[in-house]
Amino acid sequence: MSFNEKIMLNDGRQMPLLGLGVYKAVGENEVEQAIADAADAGYRLIDTASVYKNEDGVGRGIKALTIPRDELFVTTKIWNTAQRIGDVEDSFNRSLERLGLDYVDLYLIHWPVPGCYTDTWKALEKLQSQGRVKSIGVSNFHIHDLEMLKKISDVVPAVNQIEFHPLFNQPELLSYCRDNKIAVQAYAPLARGAYLHSQLLLEIGRKYQKTTAQIGLRWAVQQGISVIPKSVHKERIQENAGIFDFSLTAEEMEAITAMDAHHRTAGIPEDMIPYYKD
């Protein structure tokens, strides 16, 4: 498995296994520098969202790169408020303008807002048909949400971006996505540091001369799951990229999977709490 390893999406396009997450990167020149450091380290996937309030910085960071646009994979997402008022196309146009791009590679529904997300999905289909979005997908969707999309559309989401890490590995949802050819992408793959002092991962890390973060990320990508660890620190960005020069044994993979504690580390938006159940 090489650094430039990609996974094939159900629409025929390819997505890198490793990307840079930029959640909460809003400091002056912070996201621009992170993108430059990530590109230097070999990253080609950048993940943002309208609610992150940094699409303009992402756009400036991309513009400063010398990498051809078709070698980059840029993801953004529509937020809940825009779904509720049926503002999908205008919200997308604003994101595209802030990013300074002609298209995005992946546009996601950030959360399955009840009573809205099916209409939002149909709007995403339209954007894809116009060529301004190459692939469309979802984030934080449960099985019943994905089943609902099946009822109203023949277009299967290319990606379901979910919280996924050794402490929260959602086996039923992962199995469903695999069965339905929906690629899984892991946000918060480092569980906000929650497993970085695990004795198991420390022991495995010593064997391979890797950090616990690298072991956790390797465990995910070795399952064909794309990961987008968030960092604005050059050393961490480089460290997170060092996961393609070793492989875990089947026994090690099973032991890490057995760490699952149904422990969600990312927050749920206040407006989704009444509806969203793990």
State pLDDT tens for residues 90-145: 999 999 999 999 999 999 999 999 999 999 999 999 999 999 999 999 999 999 99
CA dihedral 213, 219, 224, 227 (to 10 degrees): -20
- Is 23 part of the annotated catalytic residue set? no
d(CA 225, CA 219) in angstroms, rounded, equals 9
Q: Has residue 68 got a pLDDT over 70?
A: yes
Phi-psi region of 267 (alpha: psi -120 to 50; beta: other; left: phi over 0): beta
Q: For residue 55, is it within any domain?
A: yes
Residue 278 lies in a domain: no
Q: Which of 268, 275, 266 is nearest to 228 (CA)?
A: 266
Which pairing describes strands 45-47 and 14-16: parallel, antiparallel, or unpaired? unpaired
DSSP structural state of residue 104: E
Q: What is the pLDDT of residue 278?
A: 66
So what's the pLDDT on residue 108? 99
Buried b (16+ CB within 10 A) or exposed e, 37-68: bbbebebbbbbbbbbbebbbbbbbbbeebeee
Residue 241 has a CB neighbour count (10 Å cut-off) of 18
How far apart CA 6 and CA 202 sit, in angstroms, is: 28
Task: Note whether residue 142 is domain-resident.
Answer: yes
DSSP class of 70: G
Average pLDDT over residues 152-179: 98
**Is residue 187 domain-resident?**
yes
* Domain presence at residue 269: no
Instruction: Please state, in angstroms and rounded to a whole number, the distance separating the CA atoms of residues 187 and 48.
Output: 11
Would you say 159 and 186 are in contact if contact means Cβ atoms under 8 Å apart?
Answer: no
Q: For residues 161 and 141, is the Cβ–Cβ distance under 8 A?
A: no
Establish if 217 belongs to a structural domain.
Answer: yes
The residue annotated as part of the active site, out of 43, 52, 107, 117, is 52
pLDDT tens digits, 166-207 = 999 999 999 999 999 999 999 999 999 999 999 999 999 999
User: What is the average pLDDT score of the chain?
Assistant: 96
3-state secondary structure of 16: strand
* Model confidence pLDDT, tens digit, residues 18-62: 999 999 876 778 999 999 999 999 999 999 999 999 999 999 999
Model-level pTM? Answer: 0.96
**Residue 233, annotated as binding a ligand:** no
The pLDDT of residue 24: 80
d(CA 260, CA 43): 28
As for how many domains the chain has, the answer is 1
Q: Cα 232 to chain center, whole Å?
A: 16
Q: For 216-257, what is each residue's pLDDT tens digit? A: 999 999 999 999 999 999 999 999 999 999 999 999 999 999
275 within domain boundaries: no
Q: What is the CATH number of the domain that holds 57?
A: 3.20.20.100
Question: Does pLDDT of 159 surpass 70?
Answer: yes
Domain span holding position 22 = 6-262
> Which amino acid makes up residue 196?
L
Please check whether residue 271 lies inside any domain of the structure: no
**Residue spans of beta strands (DSSP E) within 133-225:** 133-139, 159-163, 183-187
Instruction: Count each helix (H run) and each strand (E run) in the chain, helices first.
Output: 11, 10
**Residue 237 amino acid letter:** I
